[in-house]
Amino acid sequence: MSYKRVMRISQEVKKIVSETIRTNLKDPRISKMTSVTKVEVTNDLRYAKIYFAVLGDDDEKQDTLKGLESSKGFIRKEIGQELNLRYTPEPVFLLDRSIEHGMYISKLIDKVKKDDER
């Protein structure tokens, strides 16, 4: 399958999942501060790795992951209704820690700058 088509489908899945999480899911475990950061659909369109970030502590992140895992069937149904594909990709939810890592690196750089000024 063409790389461009897979990328377009990934972007569409990202929009659909983001909208579904924001408006349609009523699970209290899912944090209101949840955002989908990236979606990678496999070349055979069977699986969609959905990376999400949650603003909050580790307990809130784990609760959100459990809530999304339990809503997997509903989210897959929403993807299938919006996209006309032979196979609807199976969502696989992964916690994205890149934002936290970036903040940690930024703090380290600020610390080094302060130490150099002294």
User: Which pTM was predicted?
Assistant: 0.84
Whether residue 1 is predicted with pLDDT greater than 80 in this model: the reply is no
Q: What percent of the chain has pLDDT over 70?
A: 100
Average pLDDT along the chain: 92
Q: What is the domain partition of the chain in residue ranges?
A: 3-117
Say which CATH class 3-117 falls into: alpha beta
CA atoms of 118 and 109, how far apart (whole Å) = 15
The secondary structure of 72-114 as a DSSP string is HHHHHHHHHHHS--SSPPEEEEEE--HHHHHHHHHHHHHHHHH
* Residue-wise pLDDT tens digits, 10-54: 999 999 999 999 999 989 999 988 999 999 999 999 999 999 999
pLDDT at site 55? 86
